[in-house]
Amino acid sequence: MKDSKLPIAIASDHAGFCLKETLKKVLSSEGYVFEDFGTWSEASVDYPDFVHPLARAIEDKTFEKGIIICGTGNGVAMVANKYADIRAAVCWNEEIARLARMHNDANVISLPARFITEQDSVQFVRTFLTTAFEGGRHERRVNKIAATV
């Protein structure tokens, strides 16, 4: 099932901590390997402190894909999407996760921990990690995402 030889970068804030730990446990049993960028408890933290290092590590090609988690998925996605080579997609159902990969070549899945179940999140991440980018007409669009000044 694993689609990459590289480990997967993962990070969360306090609201996503429990979901992050569940994902690591379930998906590790399926052969996935994770590099955990934090946080390491449910104590209140500032999510940019964990997402910036994760995004930089994906930009420098240490990781191909990442998983970021906060209460809504929005805050962590906003931080990650500041990086030119990051395409973070907030995913709240399996079809969004599939299309984020197929049509947008998303390389980071952002999960809204307060709005999805643990069981569903595992399926969303499985789908995200195993779905290929379709390319074709979508590649032209993805190539236009980067801001030009």
Catalytic residue among 14, 52, 103, 138: 103
Tokens of 76: 């962590």
The answer to whether residue 103 is catalytic is yes
> Are the C-beta atoms of residues 127 and 107 closer than 8 Å to each other?
no
β-bridge partners, 12: 69
The answer to whether residue 18 is catalytic is no
Q: For 9, left (φ over 0), alpha (ψ -120 to 50), or beta?
A: beta
Number of C-beta neighbours around residue 89 at 10 A: 22
Residues involved in catalysis: 70, 103
